[in-house]
Structure 1
C-alpha cells in the first residue's frame, strides 16, 4: 500500500472532514495528516481499526504462546486429552 497519495495537511482535513470520512470508509486506506509539513497523525476507518486491533491481539497471543514454549511451560497433548476426558466423565 502506498501512503504517498494519502498524505493531506491538517487544513485539508479541517475544510473537508465529511468527505475525508466518506473516503476513508469507502477506500479503507489510512490517511496521513501533516502539520507544518510533518506527519502528525494517521486516520483510518473504524472497520480497519478493529481489524488491526484483532490482528494485534492474535499476534500477542502467538508471542505469549511462543514464550511459554521457550520457557518449557507446555504439556504433551496426550496428557491434556486424558485430563479433559477425566473431567468430562466426572462431571
Structure 2
C-alpha cells in the first residue's frame, strides 16, 4: 500500500469528515492526517482496527510461547494429553 496517496491535512479532515469516514470504511485503507506538515494521526475503519488488534494479540501469544520453549518451560503433547485425561477422570 502506498501511504503517499493516503495523506491529508487536518483541514481536509475538518471540512470533509463524513466523506473521509465513508471512504475509509469502503476502501479499508488508513488515512494519515498531518498537522503543520507533520504526520500526527492515522485514521482507519473499525473492522481493520479490530483485526489488527486480534493479530497483535496472537503474535504476542506466539512470542510468549517461543520464550517459554527457549526457557525450557514446555511439555510433550503426550504428557499434556495424559494430564488432561487424568483431570477429566477426576471430575
Question: What TM-score, normalized by structure 2, do the two folds share?
Answer: 0.97
Segments of 4+ moved more than 3 angstroms: none
User: Which residue of structure 2 aligns with residue 21 of structure 1?
Assistant: 21
Provide structure 2 residue ranges, at least 5 long, that are not aligned to the other structure.
none
User: Which residue of structure 2 aligns with residue 6 of structure 1?
Assistant: 6
Aligned length: 91
User: Which residue of structure 1 aligns with residue 53 of structure 2?
Assistant: 53
User: Which residue of structure 1 aligns with residue 70 of structure 2?
Assistant: 70
Structure 1 position 90, deviation (Å): 2.1
> How far apart are the structure 1 equivalents of 2:18 and 2:83?
57
Provide structure 1 residue ranges, at least 5 long, that are not aligned to the other structure.
none
More displaced, 12-21 or 73-82?
73-82
Secondary structure at the counterpart of residue 72 of structure 1 = coil
Secondary structure at the counterpart of residue 8 of structure 1 = strand
Question: What TM-score, normalized by structure 1, do the two folds share?
Answer: 0.97
